[in-house]
């Protein structure tokens, strides 16, 4: 039975991306179509980076953002999202989470990592920063839900910013999550 999909902010609002990251003017239509066709409701999560480092932020890896202050910020956002997730879970609705693979904040299975990155923002093209793991907001959301006694929803991530992005594969992943 269809439920509620909590989606990363940028998947409905590409204006929140840092410069160079927007794949379309606003709404990432393939995700919305996949959810709508299967009867799922949509709930948008906030963008952790937008309100913390702003629209003019540089691309960043996880280590650059992983400070106590950023984690407190993410936890504040996570409390809001977890409260909404809890409403749906307590009502017996199915909930899934769709993040953004490769993101230092919203990655579900793939984040960005480079312990050496810092200083003047220049690095070789093709720098290998993608690595297994979740983003900082996803970590904090998982912790916040655990404190509330709410199970972390099934989760996957949109892959459109990964170099090996494959549209049909991305859709398969979404459908697999929706179908449990």
Partner 1 sequence: MDAGDARGYRVALIADELVNPAARGIDGLAALESAGWGAIQLPSGDYPDEVAAPLLDLVAEQTEEFTRHGYTVAVIGRRAGLDEALAAYGVSGLPSIEPRSTAALTRFLAQTAGSDPERPL
User: Which chain residues interact with partner 1 by CB under 8 A?
Assistant: 9, 12-17, 19-27, 29, 32, 41-44, 46-47, 50-51, 54-56, 77, 79-81, 83-84, 86-87
* b/e code 74-93 from CB counts within 10 Å (16+ = b): bbebbeebbeebbebbeeee
How near is the Cβ of 71 to partner 1 at its closest, in Å?
Answer: 16
Report the residue number, 63 or 94, with the smaller CB distance to partner 1: 94
CB of 74 to partner 1, least distance (A): 12
Phi (first) and psi of residue 12, to 5 degrees: -110, -10
> With respect to partner 1, which residue has the nearer C-beta, 40 or 132?
40
User: From the CB of 120, what's the least distance to partner 1, in Å?
Assistant: 18
Closest to partner 1 by CB, 124 vs 132, is 124
Q: Which residues contact 67 (CB under 8 A, 6 or more apart)?
A: none
Minimum distance, C-beta of residue 56 to partner 1, in the bound complex (Å): 7
Q: Give whichever of 123 and 131 is closer to partner 1, judged by the CB atom.
A: 123
CA distance 50 to 120: 21
Contact 136, 105 (CB under 8 A): yes
Q: Which is nearer to partner 1, 54 or 115 (CB)?
A: 54
How far apart are CB 132 and partner 1 at their closest, in Å? Answer: 27
């Amino acid at each position: 039975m269809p439920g509620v999909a909590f989606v990363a902010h940028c998947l409905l609002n590409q204006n929140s991306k840092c410069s160079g990251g927007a794949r379309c003017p606003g709404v990432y239509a393939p995700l919305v179509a996949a959810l709508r066709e299967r009867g799922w409701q949509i709930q948008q999560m906030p963008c952790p980076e937008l309100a913390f480092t702003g629209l003019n932020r540089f691309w960043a890896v996880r280590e650059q953002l992983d400070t106590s202050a950023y984690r407190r910020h993410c936890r504040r956002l996570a409390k809001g999202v977890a409260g909404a997730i809890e409403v749906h879970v307590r009502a017996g609705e199915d909930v899934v989470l769709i993040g953004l693979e490769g993101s230092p904040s919203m990655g579900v299975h793939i984040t960005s990592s480079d312990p050496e990155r810092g200083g003047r923002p220049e690095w070789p093209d093709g720098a290998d920063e993608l690595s297994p793991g979740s983003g900082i907001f996803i970590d904090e959301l998982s912790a916040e839900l655990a404190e509330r006694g709410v199970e972390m929803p099934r989760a996957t991530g949109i892959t459109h910013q990964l170099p090996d992005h494959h549209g049909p594969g991305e859709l398969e992943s979404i459908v697999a999550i929706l179908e449990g």
